[in-house]
Amino acid sequence: MKRWYLAFVVLMVLPITVLAQDENTEIEELRRDLQELKADYETRIQQLEERLERAERSARKAERSADEAMEVAEETAISSGGRASSPNAFNPAIGVVLVGTYSDFDGGWDRIAGFIPGNELGPGGPGFSIGESELNMNANIDPMFFGNFTVAVGDEDGRVELELEEAWFQTLGIPHGLTFLAGRYFSDLGYLNKFHRHADDFTDRPLPYQAFLGGQYIEDGVQALWVTPATSVFLEFGG
Would you state the pLDDT for residue 29?
79
Which alpha helices (H) appear in 119-232, and where do they start and end?
A: 207-213
**157 and 228 housed in the same domain:** yes
**19 and 90 housed in the same domain:** no
**136 and 193 housed in the same domain:** yes
- State which of 62, 80, 98 marks the end of a domain: 80
3-class DSSP state of 187: coil
- State which of 24, 58, 80 marks the end of a domain: 80
**116 and 65 housed in the same domain:** no
Residues 64-111: pLDDT tens digits?
A: 777 777 776 666 555 444 454 454 555 688 888 888 777 777 666 667
**111 and 36 housed in the same domain:** no
CA 222 to chain centre: 28
pLDDT, tens digit only, all 239 positions of the chain: 555 555 555 555 555 555 555 566 777 778 887 888 888 888 888 888 888 888 888 888 877 777 777 776 666 555 444 454 454 555 688 888 888 777 777 666 667 776 666 656 655 667 777 777 888 999 888 888 999 999 988 777 667 788 888 999 999 888 888 889 999 998 888 788 888 877 777 777 777 787 777 777 888 889 888 888 766 666 767 66
**142 and 231 housed in the same domain:** yes
Would you state the pLDDT for residue 101?
77
**217 and 99 housed in the same domain:** yes
Q: Where are the beta strands (DSSP E) in the chain?
A: 93-97, 101-103, 127-129, 132-142, 145-156, 159-171, 178-186, 218-227, 236-238
**234 and 179 housed in the same domain:** yes
What is the total count of domains within the chain?
A: 2
Q: Report the predicted TM-score, pTM, of the whole model to 2 decimal places.
A: 0.53
Q: Are 170 and 146 a contacting pair, CB within 8 Å?
A: yes
**112 and 181 housed in the same domain:** yes
**71 and 160 housed in the same domain:** no
**94 and 196 housed in the same domain:** yes
Q: What is the residue-wise DSSP string for 70-81?
A: HHHHHHHHHHHT
**111 and 215 housed in the same domain:** yes
Domain that holds residue 172: 81-238
